[in-house]
Structure 1
């Protein structure tokens, strides 16, 4: 596994780069990678099967110029921006038993994230793929899968402006049982550490060896043109 600590200024390119890393691994031009990034401006990102109309406060986003994008993985709608550390893992199914199955791979990865955060919080896995402290969520996760490799990406709230979550996101179409119909402000929280500190904890847990290269930026930009910049993709539901 190699490390890619790289944030790009445009949210669509950031999403596309995650997918490009997965495609590169699948095609044999890349491999396992831990990518860390923190979107410098706010953006709403809907899961591949999510509903923009239901999950997003489109009028608030339009008024503030917050883009609404769709990623290629599943999971719920999230607000990215300063204070929201994104981690992306491209892993081979051959790395550990059970990684070819979504529930087992979630357990494997989230157990390691919980272990990484032990010096700071006693976290637990909640719902399908959330991480929480005493039932309050600080991390959501999702996956995209190919034949030999899969992409698991998630968020860690580390100083995010949580009031903006309620401003730009509606109550979700689907919610885990442990949420118990709580409003966004009662359901999400920040970890008691900065994003840079969270990065170091993840690096210490996963122990990547060297920096990832070459970065598939041409492939990412091609994916933006083909998919992530298109209304047909982002507003298809």
Structure 2
């Protein structure tokens, strides 16, 4: 993820009957005391940090709803392995970041055809099935027959339109999820399709499911109508009668210390890669001179051990493995092993296979 974001556009929302999406030119101080928030920002680093700030600062006894969209990005769960979950080659080709969120669950793709909802409640009253049902009822008012499965995903038939994740801390909990409205499903598939079956992780693997867009079943559904429906259902369920608090780029919310620090943390190596649970990855590349079995073991993004064995094993391959130990997985410069691979062409072949297997895309906003 080496390139920076282009300037992020403001999302412009149409004006349905029960909402007021007009944006006041005056700057409003952001407060966690409202019940309903709609972010007009499409910066994923901001929106994920805003969500966490609201979660940490809202009165734990009061319900809260946040809705937002993001520019294209892949979002992995708190305890997942990005090299297992994300096609780094496809990410790089499209200049799309991956972001490790602060909740558990699996990997999802965000773009402007996907709307994210986040429902925060007291831990004592939190019921993930009930919150999923709230969203299901909202979609039903838009004319699409959906159901909640045993994982609390929202589906049309056997295809998923919404996946969920959860977070519980002290007296507060939230259920957040994606809603595929008109997402580019071909891009989603390309970014989340990996060839790492031999990577064994102690983290959480995503549960792969067929997906579809709501737009396939109703041409009138879009971000605005979905937001309207969820807000209305949230108000009915929790007896909330107050206006929506819109959060806009340039209002200064990103200057809030907690949010600013969160936006800096999410793309950092320590968070994005350094939180990766321990894993091992075995590959068996073949060369003209023979086949090699390579096993890499890593924890928190650091290579702990690399073993390369073949019928031609020797001091060169052993030294190559030792040189990688203690370095960041996917970030090893060739200079670290240059003298070893320059002396032995077989070591060079193995190094190139290793470098390809550890391919990483480090997007920086």
State the TM-score, normalizing by the size of structure 1.
0.83
- Are the aligned partners of 2:115 and 2:180 in contact in 1 as well (CA < 8 Å)? yes
Pairs aligned (count): 216
Residue 134 in 1 paired to residue 157 in 2?
A: yes
1:164 to 177, 180, 187: 187
Q: Where do 4+ consecutive residues of structure 1 move more than 3 Å?
A: 171-174, 211-217
- For 1:1-237, what aligned pairs fall within 5 Å after superposition? 2-25=35-58, 31-39=62-70, 41-94=71-124, 96=125, 99=126, 105-119=127-141, 120-170=143-193, 173-175=205-207, 179=209, 187-191=210-214, 192=218, 193-207=221-235, 208=240, 209-212=242-245, 217=254, 218=256, 219-225=258-264, 227-235=265-273, 236-237=275-276
Deviation at 1:127, TM superposition (A): 4.2
Q: Distance in 1 between matches of 2:75 and 2:48?
A: 9
Moved more, 215-224 or 59-68: 215-224
The higher-RCO structure (CA 8 Å, 6+ apart) is 1
- Are the aligned partners of 1:112 and 1:205 in contact in 2 as well (CA < 8 Å)? yes
Q: Distance in 1 between matches of 2:154 and 2:267?
A: 30
Moved more, 118-127 or 143-152: 118-127
Q: Distance in 1 between matches of 2:226 and 2:151?
A: 22
Deviation at 1:77, TM superposition (A): 0.4
* Structure 1: gaps of 5 or more residues: 100-104, 180-186
Q: Distance in 1 between matches of 2:230 and 2:244?
A: 15
Q: Distance in 2 between matches of 1:127 and 1:175?
A: 13
Larger Rg: 2
- Cα shift readout 1:126-184 (whole Å, capped 9, x = no counterpart): 242311011100001111112111122111111111111111112693327xx4xxxxx
